[in-house]
Structures are given as structure tokens and as C-alpha cells.
A and B are shown apart, each in its own frame.
Chain A
């Protein structure tokens, strides 16, 4: 019966905007390339992303941002809320990653973003911010790194 339900889900479209398989693959690839860790501790306020990350064995969701290797933010407001919860020293150590360009553009400790623009996903990192957190990405990421926004 479970397989039948899988068929019906395939035919009638997804209930949520994010598809688990490809979303987990891309986020895990990005996090692993940036942090060079097999298992990555992530804090996020993005509701739907949280549901997807919950099903991963490689991305571990943590309850407080101070315990995270990376923080994923979706809105300006959630960025502000998360920052309030964090220890000042940790704010300088833990990089942020955004799901909207506006958040990437607005805050210096957001190292990059995976966001939608005109129906296409865009991946972007800001070089000086990567350097500030001591993050080195492989040459394959060169097309996705800019010196400034």
C-alpha cells in the first residue's frame, strides 16, 4: 500500500514546495564543501526546510543556534530573532546561509545563499565573507563566488 501511495504522490504533485531528495542533496553538498565535515549541525527557522532536514542522516538539526555549525535563515525577521538568541562570541564564529537574496545582501555574516530568481535557483557566495570565517571552497564553486554584492 505504501508503494501505491508513492505512485499517487508522484502523479498528483507535491504538497510542499520543496522536494526532499534534491533539496537534501544540494544543501548537504554546500554545507560539506564549506565546512568539511561529514555530519553538519544546522539551526534554521525556515519551517519547510526544517521538515526536510529532519529526514536527513547527515544534517543534524539543533535547537539553539549557538550549537550549530551553520545557521540557515529565510527572512530578515528570522535573522534578527536568531541573532538575539546567540552569544556575541558565537555570532562571530558561526556562519549564516540564506534562502533569499535580500537577506544575503543585508547582512555581512551571511556567507552565501541558495535562492529563487525568475523560476531558477541561484547559488551565490561572497568571497570576503567566506575568508572571514576561514572557509575555502573548491574551484568548482568559482562561478558561484563574487567579490562583492
Chain B
């Protein structure tokens, strides 16, 4: 006869077996609920496209560019200087992506006089990153953000999960090579992280009809580090990037020399003063050395220097922000004040001296306030307002901007819904216009000074253990657009994004995204339809992992289909060592950007060059964790 202890033990064993059947499911739930993005995601920030650490690792995304080719609405492009510029029109402009903002660990990285941080950090090495959040339109007013269509929040790895040393070595087509080192440690509740990477990109040449095709090779050294505890954090980021600048300042894209070197330093300090108040200070400095030679007069500087320019510049940005957050019953109130000062320290031609500048100092003062009111245990109503005053020296006009956002959010167990009404105001960037030294237009009177964008956006999401389905819908109108179109009408946008993720099991997953947008009165077009999408598969078999994805683009301008196929196979040789072979743009049919050209002698537009920002490349990678 069985004793009661025996019966109990048998029961426990049986229960244990039943439970063990769910071990995969429990691990999957543990994975999802304990991903570090759960600590940083703010559902009320807006419409989120998230790249978790696991996703970034499985994609083998090594740069922000590798990630941005999958984002909907705004995807990766490069300017005529071979710099990241997703909003570029391809025409003669220094940059257009000043309405895309990049934050690292809650602090914006900015280049001040080059629009935003995107031009330099848009293709940064992300080996230091844990996860990346993309928010469309102005995110919540928990912090001040200069007006933005897209805000990218990158969060770094933590030594709690990435302690010790890791090395990542890559070599690929045309001598491409990357070496990256990461070290993390936690000691007495203080966390340290240091990440150093070196990148040498020998990129595909662009045929410009001459014997000397356009070059865009670059060499970059990037250093990222932080030290933090519960109350204080200090970040340091340094980047040195020496580039061949593609067409550069050549009107007809036939430069004899086109080179720009960039040196950037960013540092910030954040502190929690008490339970309600926090402060942050940051400093960004960018210096450039430019060498441009052409057989014809150069763009912007041609009226002064003819067909050769060798100059340098230095600019500094100082930012300070004080924020208050408190809970009053059902209200969560956030408010704050921010001051940013951008100074163009120098802008000079070698052997000549300082170049005349329309202005060289800009100060942005912002006040922001947000109330989030819990209507019920599942519903939230939010109201956000931000006022900014932009002051410029040397008599250039100041601007007032007012951002407004009203939001409603429903958070059910499986179903989620959010809707926002926006008013976003964007100021003309007078510096980029003033670069054209031959231009007779007055930045104060001959351009629209402030654009107002009105928008309504909605998102419906269904999420359960295996399925994740989201439908996003955006309707926007630009009033008094900064970019004047041929009919001088307001530009209108309608965008929809459908995302679906299916988890076969713990290690196998499929993601699908479809995007459609209809634009009215944009650039010289009365209408434009834009389509894109991707399908990706993450699979694992034994010690092997596979990633396959194809990104598709088409628009109504030429109805041409573009396909960017990425595939990788990883072999986890041991717990510490992984070998990967990765192919990028395997079909050599990735999306292209028009690079416009003008004959400098006749002033007539030439057939634009088609430039793909994604090179066709095979990469071999070795990752080692000490």
C-alpha cells in the first residue's frame, strides 16, 4: 500500500511533468515580459515601431541604417554628400532630415547646425544598443523634443545582462571591415559600459558618366561610454568619420575631389533631484574639414571661391532641461523647461579666414506641460502642449512654435487602441538656406517661415501569446509648407501601416509589414502613391540560426519594384563563439534615391543619377564573448 508521502510525491511528479510541458511557453512569456524595452516603452509616447534586442540580434543589424530600412513611412536614404538623410529630395540641399530626432538613453544627440543628429548618427554602429524605439509625430511631452515627424529612442545595453568583454569582428566585400569591442560591469550599484568600434566601408561606386565614378567610402571610429547609478548618469560619445562625399558641391556630380571629415563629441549628465524633479545637461560639438574641387564653379560657395573650396567649421550646442513629474489622484502631470543654444563657432576657408554668416547663434527656449488623466482602469486621456521661442542673432527673425496633442488610449488585455490629434509647427532652418552665398533671396521675407502640420492618427493592436497584429492610420496636412510645391497648395498625406508578427515557438518567428501612403500636392507632383513592405523569417535548427527578409518598395513616379533581400546563417559554435555569414541586398535591387544634376554652363537639369544607399555585400562575422 502506498503511503501518503508516496501519493503526494507521485502527484507532485505528475504536476511537474504537466508543468514541464509548458516550459517553452513559460520561457517565451518570461522573454517577452522581461525584455528591457518593457522598462522604457511609454505607451502614450505615440505610435511605436519597436526593435527589441532579440530582433536586432537575429537580424544582425549592426548599424542604425540596417534597422531603418525596415521602418515604415520614413525609410533610409542618403544625401548627395553620402550622409544619412531619410527625407532627402535628392535636389541641391545641405540636409532635409532635421525633423527626425535621435535620443540615446533619453538625451538627444544633435549636430546643431547640421539639422539634427541624423546626418552623422543615422548610420551609426549600434553594437552598444539594447533596443530601439521609433515614434511617429511628436512624442509625449515627458521631455522636450524639437518638432519632429519621427523620434528615434536608442537604449544602451546594461551590464546586468551584458557584463564582461565581447568582441565582434566583420569582414566583407570590397575590403569592408568592422571591429567592435564592448565592456560592461556593475559594482556597488554603479554600472559602467564602454563600446568602441572601427568601421572601414569600401562602398560601391556610382557611375556618373566619367572615368572617375563617385565615391562614398568612409572610415569611422566611434566611442560610446557611460557610468550611472540610480540617481546620476553620465554619457560620452565620440565619433570621427572621414568620408568621400559622393557628388558633394558639384552641380553635375562630377567632382575632382569630394571629401569631408567630421569629428563629433557628445556628453550629457542626468540626475534625479528627488522623486519629482530631474535635470539633464548636454553638450554637442561638431567640427568639419571639407575639400571640394570641381572643373566648374561649386554649389553654394562658387560665387566666392570658384571651383575649389578647402574649409573648416566648428559648432557647439548646449542644452539644459528641468522636468517635473507627479501623480495627483487620477492625473499624472509632467512639466518642464528646456533651453538649447546653438553656436556656429567658426566657418572658414583655408588661407582666407571667416566666411560671412547671416547669423551664428540660435537659442531655443521651450516650456512643456502634459496631463494624463485615467478615465477608467483601462482608458487614458492625455493633453500635451509645448511652446518654443527661437531667437537668432544678427537681426534674423525669431520664431514662435506651438505644439499641441490630445490623445485617447485604451489598454485591454488583448486589444489596444490609441488615437491622437496633433498640431505641430516646424520652423524654416534659415542656416541651410543661408549657405547658398550666391542666392539673392532673403530668408526673412522670401520663404514660408513656419509650417503648421495638422494630424489625426489612430492605432489598433491585438496581441496575445503567438500573434501580434497592429493597424496604424495617419492623416496629415501641411499648411504653409516649408517646401513649396508647384501648385502652392497644402500638402496632404494619408498613410496606413499593417504589421503582423507570428511566433511559431521560442526560436522561430515571422514578421510582415505592409505600408501604403497617398500624398497630394507634394514637390512637383499633384499626387503620389507610395507602397512598401517586408516579410522576415527568423528560424533556428540546433546550433544554427537563420534570418531571411525581403523589403519591397514601389511608388507611382516610376512604378518600379525594388527588392532588398537580406539573408544570414549563424553557427553558435559554443556558448561564447558565433560565426555568421550575411548577405545584404543580395539581388542588387534595393531602393534607389534620385541624385539630381544640373549642367553648370547651361543651367539645364540633367538626367538624375540613381543611387542605392544599400550596398550589395557579403559579410563574415565572428562574435566572441569573454
Contact = CB atoms under 8 A, between A and B. Distances in A.
Contacts of A22: 26, 29-30, 32-34
B557 to A, nearest CB: 39
B20 A102 contact: no
A140 B24 CA distance: 9
Contact of A19 (B33, B158, B372): B33
A10 interface: yes
A53 B552 CA distance: 48
Given A13-B39, A119-B57, A29 B33 contact: no
B23 interface: yes
- The listed residue with most B CB atoms (<10 A of its CB), out of A1, A12, A16, is A12
Contacts of B39: 13-17
Interface stretch (B10-18, B240-248, B429-437, B489-497): B10-18
A34 to B, nearest CB: 9
Interface in B162-186: 163-164
Contact of B13 (A14, A36, A102): A36
B30 A25 contact: yes
B38 A19 contact: yes
A149 interface: yes
B19 A29 contact: yes
B300 to A, nearest CB: 45
A27 B163 CA distance: 22
A109 interface: no
B54 A7 contact: no
Contacts of A141: 20, 23
A118 interface: yes
A117 B31 CA distance: 11
B53 A118 contact: yes
A33 interface: yes
Contact of B411 (A11, A14, A149): A11
Contacts of B380: 7, 11
Contact of A149 (B20, B372, B575): B575
B42 interface: yes
A67 B43 CA distance: 44
Interface residues of A, number: 44
B20 A14 contact: no
Nearest to A116: B161
B21 A140 contact: yes
A123 B27 contact: yes
- The listed residue with most B CB atoms (<10 A of its CB), out of A1, A29, A120, is A120
B356 interface: no
A29 B34 contact: no
A122 to B, nearest CB: 9
Interface in B42-72: 42-44, 52-57
Contacts of B23: 29, 123, 140-141, 144
A91 B29 CA distance: 33
Nearest to A102: B164
A86 B31 CA distance: 33
Contact of A4 (B12, B30, B130, B330): B330
Contacts of B374: 4, 7-8
Contacts of A16: 39
B290 to A, nearest CB: 40
Contacts of A120: 31, 54, 57
A105 B42 CA distance: 37
Interface string B145-163: 0000000000000101101
A100 B163 contact: yes
Nearest to B379: A7
Contacts of A117: 575
Contact of A32 (B12, B29, B34, B35): B12
B40 A8 contact: no
A23 interface: yes
B106 to A, nearest CB: 12
- The listed residue with most B CB atoms (<10 A of its CB), out of A1, A4, A8, A102, is A4
Contacts of B29: 22, 25-26
Contact of A36 (B16, B30, B57, B131): B16
Interface string A98-126: 00111001000000000011111101000
Contact of B329 (A1, A7, A100): A1
B42 A119 contact: no
Contacts of A105: 575
B38 A13 contact: yes
A119 B41 contact: no
A131 to B, nearest CB: 18
A38 B11 CA distance: 10
Nearest to A37: B12
A33 B16 contact: yes
B378 interface: yes
B292 to A, nearest CB: 43
Given A22-B30, A36-B13, A118 B40 contact: no
Nearest to B142: A12
B22 interface: yes
Given A119-B130, A138-B16, 9 more contacts: A8-B372, A12-B42, A13-B39, A23-B33, A25-B26, A36-B13, A118-B54, A121-B30, A123-B23
17 contacts: A6-B377, A7-B411, A8-B332, A11-B409, A17-B158, A17-B160, A18-B34, A23-B34, A26-B27, A26-B30, A33-B19, A120-B54, A121-B27, A123-B27, A137-B20, A138-B20, A141-B23
Interface of A: 1, 3-4, 6-8, 10-19, 21-23, 25-26, 29, 32-33, 36-38, 100-102, 105, 116-121, 123, 137-138, 140-141, 144, 149
